[in-house]
Amino acid sequence: MHDGPPYANGHLHIGHALNKILKDIINRFHVSIGNRVHYFPGWDCHGLPIEMKALQELKKDPHSLPASTIRDAAKETAEREMKTQKEEFEQFGIMADWGKESTYRTLDHDYEIRQLRVFQQMVSKGLIYRDYRPVYFSPSSRSALAEAELVYKDDHVSHSVYVAFTLDGTGFGKVSPHSAPPENPGLSKIYHEMGEGALHLLVWTTTPWTLTANMGIAVHPDLTYAVVRSPRQAGLLVIAKDRLSALERILGPVNEIEIITEVQGSDLVGLGYRAIFSSFPHGDTPSTSLYPDLRIIPASHVTSDSGTGLV
């Protein structure tokens, strides 16, 4: 039984009980039918929760303390909480040998050495690399946060934005890497008649901070989209037809919106568009290297229940 260790940072709670008792049932069943059971319980003694608990007990500004002081306090906290949790696990009636020789702690020197050796092997096999990825960050603790450490505000309201991306003509009249040419020739005709920069995709998002890294716009291939002219907007907009009445606030009254043509979402797949910041100056760096080939892609999760039908 490979048992994920609990954090050594406080009393046990119902989550610990659920975890350990279910595993204990499995272990006891296998013992009852004559199987050998190897169960080696342990504790996770590293991480932000333990450090935060130790800092609360120090009652000092953490930025004024040397790292060695914080580590010593965290070790003392972890060792104390392990003792408490072991007694509480025994009260649960968990079948295990809770002696020091039959348990592990991630702060043990031998354990840390073994971990470093495993890491060394991973490096030698080319499994470790450096890359960029978005992470949750806590300014107050100056540390990245795990998903389990996040607390979402129940009364938080996400502000949405509507953004118009301009079709650049890529994909009209020729095969694109993602799909065949649009089956609806009217869309291509409109683009060429209106001229470059006149046909826009109206996108709705509740995560506007991701727009700078946008790499694609998703449409549902089975939805019907309308190319419309609005008295409040320049150029033509592509929007899910079912969303026109819901967007009166930004487009104007439905009776004032002119539907130029209708297309299926599948007709839009593969068409290219410009990044919204591609017109900004970037020194000597060509915009084509900053903003790669951007295309419309199909996605079944896109609906006409909210937004514009383009995500």
What pLDDT sits at residue 175?
38
Collapsing DSSP states into helix, strand and coil, what is residue 66?
coil
How many CB atoms lie under 10 A from the CB of residue 79?
Answer: 14
Q: What is this structure's pTM?
A: 0.54
Partner residues linked to 204 by β-bridges: 162
Give the pLDDT of residue 219.
Answer: 93
Q: Does residue 25 sit in helix, strand or coil?
A: helix
Domains of the chain: 14-131 (3.40.50.620), 161-298 (3.90.740.10)
110: left (phi over 0), alpha (psi -120 to 50) or beta: alpha
Helix (H, G, I), strand (E, B), or coil: what is residue 228? strand
Radius of gyration for the alpha carbons in the chain, expressed in angstroms and rounded:
29
Adjacent-strand bridge partners of 202:
164
179 token code pair: 């799909």
- What is the model's pLDDT at position 113? 96
pLDDT, position 31: 96
Compute how many other C-beta atoms are within 10 angstroms of the C-beta atom of residue 182.
22
CB 296 within 8 A of CB 219: yes
Question: Would you say how long the chain is, in residues?
Answer: 311
Range list of H helices, 43-196: 48-58, 67-92, 109-124, 185-194
Residue range 144-185, pLDDT digits in tens? 888 877 887 888 887 888 998 988 876 665 434 444 444 555
According to the model, what pLDDT value does residue 177 have? 42
pLDDT at 178: 44
Which residues of the chain register pLDDT less than 70? 170-186, 191-197, 278-292
Task: Give tens-digit pLDDT for 227-247.
Answer: 888 877 778 889 999 888 888
